[in-house]
Amino acid sequence: MGRTFRHVLGRCLSPLVIWLAVVGSAQALTEVRDQEQILAAGTLRVAVYRDFPPYSFTVEGEPRGVDVAIARELAADLGVELRLHWLAPDETLGDDLRNAIWKGHYLRPGQIADVMMRVPYDRDYAFRMNALGEVENELVHMFAPYQVERWQLAYDAERLDGVASLALFQHHPIGVQIDQIPDFYLSSAFRGRLNAQTHRYRTPRQAFQAMHDGEVAAMMAMRAQVEWLLGEADAPDGRYRLADEAFPQLGKRQWQLGLAVHEVNRSLAYALEDTIMRLIRSGEMARLYAAYHLGYEVPAMYRSLRAAEDAPP
């Protein structure tokens, strides 16, 4: 609150992580559609983050991105039309799930999606309890991991020979997106000694442009964001390189992203999961990613499935 909220909230509410212990009465007004209703309506409403390349964004009004491409496949396999539900990120994932899946945003009550993209597939998170012993996200089913994500550092090889250690950025400027994890991380790593060289930008694209313009020597963002920016860049081969940096004390080094539906919608989840598995097995998923200059790494769950299927009887 302050917050901000703090705002909150009051403020402005706060950037602290919140949870809502109270399920508001607006829930009763929210219509969760089951698979039959979706088929009858002929549309699948899929929530994607807005302005979030290379996952979901628009170019001259046309939806683009890997999440949009996957969403098209989800709708096509159900034999219905895709309706994108563009989502502005709230303070935490729990807020996004509330806004997109089970309640709707308080300015747009009842306006929810059938499925949300880019939701972590993480048992610890999915079953986490709040201070009252209630499962925080009990109204949400998270499933079908389709991407592995991690933090990534890219540097300008015309300025740096390599990144042996983050300590390098005591002396060389590095760009990050403001208010995102790399920002907080670099602000405090090495007891704050990288803070003075940390430059903050509104978007990863602006951080990349700053590297292109020589303002910073490196940038840090999620791997797919970095790969996309490098792939789109008009630069001689080899000028920008990925660093293999471990990022000590950053928490999870990698995590998986999947889909989410309302907890009551299990049969819809099975159908959607079938599409994800089809895309992965056919190699179509890797092609969708390659279209945005992204490498594709099959999530661990499908690797073991494939191993089991491939094993001799």
Q: Within 239-268, which residues bind another protein (CB under 8 A)? A: 249-252, 255, 257
* Terminal alpha carbon distance of the chain: 59
Residue from 65, 104, 120, 175 touching another protein (CB under 8 A): that is: 120
CA distances (Å), 252 to each of 64, 122, 149, 246, in order? 28, 11, 10, 11
Q: How many residues bind another protein (CB under 8 A)?
A: 74
Q: With beta carbons less than 8 A apart as the criterion, state whether 46 and 71 touch.
A: yes
Residue 3 binds another protein, judged by CB under 8 A? yes
Residue 139 binds another protein, judged by CB under 8 A? no
Between 112 and 222, CB nearer to another protein = 222
Residue 311 binds another protein, judged by CB under 8 A? no
User: HSE-up of 202 (CA within 13 Å, CB side)?
Assistant: 1
Between 35 and 149, CB nearer to another protein = 149
Residue from 37, 42, 128, 164 touching another protein (CB under 8 A): that is: 128
Q: How far apart are CA 182 and CA 255, in angstroms?
A: 15
Rounded to the nearest whole angstrom, what is the least distance from the CB of residue 142 to another protein in the complex? 11
Residue 125 binds another protein, judged by CB under 8 A? yes
Q: How far apart are CA 117 and CA 169, in angstroms?
A: 34
Rounded to the nearest whole angstrom, what is the least distance from the CB of residue 35 to another protein in the complex? 26
Residue 12 binds another protein, judged by CB under 8 A? yes
Binding mask 20-59 for another protein (x = CB under 8 A): xxx-x------------------------xx-x--x----
Stretch that binds another protein, among 159-167, 179-187, 273-281, 302-310 (CB under 8 A): 179-187
Residue 134's identity, in one-letter code, is E
Q: How far apart are CA 232 and CA 217, in angstroms?
A: 18
Q: With beta carbons less than 8 A apart as the criterion, state whether 152 and 220 touch.
A: yes
Q: Is residue 23 exposed (0-12), middle (13-18) or buried (19+ Cβ within 10 Å)? A: middle
Residue 203 binds another protein, judged by CB under 8 A? no
